[in-house]
Every structure is written in C-alpha cells, then in structure tokens.
C-alpha cells in the first residue's frame, strides 16, 4: 500500500515523540516498508548539537536505536535551515519530495488559539502535502 514512511523528529523533545515513534514502527512492520527519520537544525549551535555534523551524528544514532529497538529498516536525513522557526514546513515538504516517502507519521500538540492564525506544522503538512499524513496526538 505504501512505499516508505517519513517521521519528522525534534531531538530536543524526543521524549514527547514516543507515541508517534511507536505508531511509525508498527506501520513499518505491518507494511514491511522502511522508515526515514528527518531532523531539522540551524547551522548555529543549538541545544542538541554544536554543529550540523554533530547533529547528523546524533540523528543517525537515534535512527539506529529505533531500528534496533523495533526491528525495522530505518534511515535518517538532516535538513539544515537558515531560519528553522519559520522554514520548518518548507523544509519538511522538501524532505518528503527528496526521500519519495508516501506516508508521514508526525506528532502534534492539541490545537489551541494560535492554530487559528498560524497552522501547526502537522496541520500545514496535512493541508499542503500530496502524500498521506498521519497526525498523532
């Protein structure tokens, strides 16, 4: 039914992603398709890593850990953004196009007032991406 799954991950808040990660792993096993974990970072030092290279290393370790834990075929992809607070949606759309994934599994918070003005990232993808988007709350 699907070819591959893309899972956006925020390494700073990886603890809040558990439900989305479990769901992605279950779907991966069910359809026997690979998962690609996508992380977005700025070139400047951040909480997760000092440099994009360090970030790539941590993301890869995260992917390997998921693969070992769930017994799935996993890869990782880093996107470097000049202005991640704003460019996140576009960066994710680009990652979907680049990886050829046809299912996005993504954690999102419960919508509140700001979502009436600015769409949440998951909301944006569900609206604009041409692939299936599974939003986990």
Partner 1 sequence: MSDAANPRPEGPADLIETDYEIGQDNIQTKLGPFGIDIHNPVFMVSGLTIVAFVVFTLALQQEAEAIFGWLRPAITSTFDWFFLAAANVFVLLCLALIVTPLGKVRLGGRDATPDYSYSGWFAMLFAAGMGIGLMFFGVSEPISHFSSSVAEGAGSPDSWAPLAGAAGDPAEARRLGMAATIFHWGLHPWAIYAVVALALGLFSYNKGLPLSFRSIFYPVFGDRVWGWTGHVIDILAVFATLFGLATSLGFGAEQANAGLNHLFGVPVGNTSKVLLITGITAIALVSVVAGLDAGVKRLSEINMVLAALLLVFVVAVGPSMAIATGFFQNLIAYAEYLPALSNPFGRDDANFSQGWTSFYWAWWISWSPFVGMFIARVSRGRTVREFMICVLLIPSLVSVFWMTAFGGTAIGQIVNDGYQAVNDAALELKLFVMLEALPLAGITSFIGIVLVIVFFVTSSDSGSLVIDTITAGGKVDAPVPQRVFWAIFEGLVAIALLLGGGLAALQAAAVSTGLPFTLVLLLGCWALVKGLRSEPR
Q: In angstroms, rounded to a whole number, what is the distance separating the alpha carbons of residues 1 and 36?
A: 17
Q: Please, which residue, 93 or 131, has the CB nearer to partner 1?
A: 93
Q: Please, which residue, 28 or 41, has the CB nearer to partner 1?
A: 41
Give the DSSP letter of residue 114. Answer: G
Q: Least distance from C-beta 115 to partner 1, angstroms?
A: 9
Residue 37: beta bridge partners? Answer: 7, 76
Please list, in sequence order, all residues whose beta carbon lies within 8 angstroms of the beta carbon of residue 10, skipping any fewer than 6 positions away. Answer: 16, 17, 39
Q: Least distance from C-beta 61 to partner 1, angstroms?
A: 8
Compute the residue count for the chain: 137
Q: Please, which residue, 45 or 100, has the CB nearer to partner 1?
A: 45
Q: Least distance from C-beta 116 to partner 1, angstroms?
A: 9
Q: Residue 132 — φ and ψ, nearest 5°? A: -70, 140
Q: Please, which residue, 92 or 101, has the CB nearer to partner 1?
A: 92
Structure tokens at 17: 């992603």
Q: Least distance from C-beta 81 to partner 1, angstroms?
A: 8
What does the binding site for partner 1 look like in residue numbers (CB under 8 A)? 42-47, 50-51, 53-54, 56-57, 82-87, 112-114, 118
Structure tokens at 34: 């690979």
């Amino acid at each position: 039914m699907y070819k591959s799954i893309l899972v956006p991950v925020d390494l700073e808040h990886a603890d809040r992603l558990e439900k989305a990660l479990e769901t992605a792993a279950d779907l991966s096993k069910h359809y026997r398709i690979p998962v690609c974990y996508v992380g977005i970072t700025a070139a400047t030092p951040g909480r997760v890593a000092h440099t994009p290279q360090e970030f790539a290393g941590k993301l890869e370790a995260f992917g390997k850990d998921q693969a070992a834990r769930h017994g799935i075929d996993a890869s990782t992809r880093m996107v470097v953004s000049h202005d991640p607070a704003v460019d996140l949606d576009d960066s994710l759309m680009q990652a979907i196009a680049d990886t050829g994934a046809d299912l996005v599994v993504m954690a999102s918070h419960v919508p509140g007032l700001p979502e009436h003005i600015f769409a949440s990232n998951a909301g944006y993808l569900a609206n604009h991406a041409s692939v299936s988007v599974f939003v986990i709350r």
